[in-house]
Amino acid sequence: MKKLILSIFSLVVLTTQVCAQQRIYVCEGFRYDVYDITSADDIRFSSDGLEVSIGNYDTYDIDEIDSITFAEPQFPRIDIKFEENTASVQVGAGVKGVTYSINGAVVTLTSTTTSNEYLYSVSGTSTNGSLVINGDYKLTVELAGLTLTNPKGAAIDIECGKRIGVILKEGTVNTLTDGKNGSHKGAFYTEGHPEFEGGGTLNVTGNTKHAICAKEYLQFKKSTGIINVLGAVSDGIHCGKGKKNDDNCYFQINGGIINVNNVGSDCIDADDYGCMIIKGGELNLTVSAEDGTGLKCDSIIYMTGGQLNINVNSQLSEGIRTNYAAYFDGGNISMKVAGDGDKGIRAKRCTKTTDTVLNGGYLYFRGTTVDMTVSGKTYADGTDCVGIRADRDFTQTAGDITLTMTSNDATPLVVKGTENRTGGTLVVK
């Protein structure tokens, strides 16, 4: 952060000397935005020093910016292009320690670098291809107009346990599809920590298990465009190792539009001690599988912004579920709960020794607006349909909750522990 502040200070000093150039490049990893800037006053820090504004255009979080410069950035890159049954790889100048093999349209790259981050730009089309990247150092993959189907496994498999930047190139549509009955975990799989950005579109279908799967955390940045999960046998988006005692698993969305449909389990699942952090963006989720969930996490949900639109159409399912606690501090939730035995929002208390997190069940509403319609009924086995359920305590200090009940055989609110409402509104229609 100190390095970035000095960089911006130098730019401000130099601006009056290079007004003829009038372009500033704001770099976030291997992606950058370009602005015409003619006044030093156009670069401003927030009072807390955590954000910087570029003219009247955009505001950036300091921790997401790598540099601000007058010169157009040049990145060491590897270009991979698929052409149906063949593929080509071009290693650019400045790239060291990267080898590759091509077998038809199956491309495998291996990087031995431990100090240089490279950009892998992928484009083209193949219905019988795949991309595997091996390495031990962080890297960035740019999807620049890619349509890739692997009938035998994952379309993209990144076997690197570090930070993986994923750029959806502006103006492009990218489509990934895997094969059926494989041993892989997702159509787009990363062993490390993927961070999505860029204004393009990504369509993903998971025919064996998940559509998008990360072994640890997964993040969508403010600049993210559109993610469409068209279908998945299991979860639409999954992060976590499937093991206990792992505190580095979380799902975070700061921006973008994510649509998840036609999944066989949960729309989005943060496994292990997984948390969910919702700061912005839009999530449009359809729960179509029995016993499925829209948003599911083993630990804690933090929501401070964004828009959640969730339709729960199946039986014995849930719109939002945490196995410990949820803090709804901002943003908006619009939900329809239509299946028998469904729960709209639930904090579950897990008591089995095999459960990851024990003795939860807490809901805190401190600013989020909730508009929920409940039309489901009691399931055949006696399971109730409930709008909001806290297996322990329910606390509301701010925010407006509206529960519209169109079924006489459903309950708006169930609290097993203490109900404490000191602010906001809770209206049942």
| Domain with 44 in it | 2-69
Q: Which residues pair with 231 in a beta bridge?
A: 205
Question: Can you tell me whether residue 214 is helix, strand or coil?
Answer: strand
Model pLDDT, residue 248: 66
Question: Can you tell me whether residue 7 is helix, strand or coil?
Answer: helix
Instruction: Annotate 319-374 with DSSP letters as a single string.
Output: EEEESSEEEE-SSEEEEEE-STT-EEEEE----STTSSS-S--EEEEES-EEEEEE
Q: Which residues pair with 246 in a beta bridge?
A: none
Model pLDDT, residue 383: 96
Model pLDDT, residue 18: 43
Cα–Cα dist 235/239, whole Å: 10
Distances (CA, A) of 340 to 264, 274, 279, 291: 18, 28, 31, 11
Residue 39 placed within a domain: yes
Distances (CA, A) of 236 to 41, 221, 222, 261, 378: 45, 19, 21, 8, 27
Residue 36 placed within a domain: yes
How confident is the model over 267-281, as pLDDT tens digits? 999 987 889 999 999
| Domains in the chain, number | 1
In this structure, what token pair is assigned to residue 270?
Answer: 């943060």
Amino acid 72 reads E
Cα–Cα dist 186/232, whole Å: 9
Signed CA dihedral, 185, 190, 193, 196: sign only: negative
Amino acid 44 reads R
Full pLDDT tens readout for the chain, 429 residues: 444 444 444 444 444 444 445 778 888 777 777 777 665 456 788 888 888 887 766 788 887 788 888 887 878 999 999 999 999 999 998 899 999 999 999 999 999 999 889 999 999 999 999 999 999 999 999 999 999 999 999 999 999 999 999 999 999 999 999 999 999 999 999 999 999 999 999 999 999 999 999 998 999 999 999 999 999 999 999 998 655 555 568 999 999 999 999 999 999 999 878 899 999 999 999 999 999 999 999 899 999 999 999 999 999 999 999 999 999 999 999 999 999 999 999 999 988 877 778 889 999 999 999 999 999 999 999 999 999 999 999 999 999 999 999 999 999 999 999 999 999 999 999
CB neighbourhood size of 243 (10 A)? 11
Find how far residue 73's CA is from the centre of its chain.
27
Residue 381 placed within a domain: no
Cα–Cα dist 15/203, whole Å: 42
Model pLDDT, residue 130: 98
Question: What is the Rg, in whole angstroms, of the alpha carbon atoms belonging to the chain?
Answer: 23
Residue 231 placed within a domain: no
In this structure, what token pair is assigned to residue 300?
Answer: 């804690």
Enter the pTM of the model: 0.89
Residue 14 placed within a domain: yes
Q: Which residues pair with 26 in a beta bridge?
A: 33, 68
Cα–Cα dist 271/251, whole Å: 9
Question: Can you tell me whether residue 150 is helix, strand or coil?
Answer: coil
CB neighbourhood size of 73 (10 A)? 13
Model pLDDT, residue 47: 85
Distances (CA, A) of 10 to 5, 67, 170, 302: 9, 12, 29, 37
Distances (CA, A) of 238 to 153, 222, 365: 17, 20, 26
Which DSSP symbol is given to 57? T
Residue 55 placed within a domain: yes
Residue 378 placed within a domain: no
Cα–Cα dist 104/189, whole Å: 21
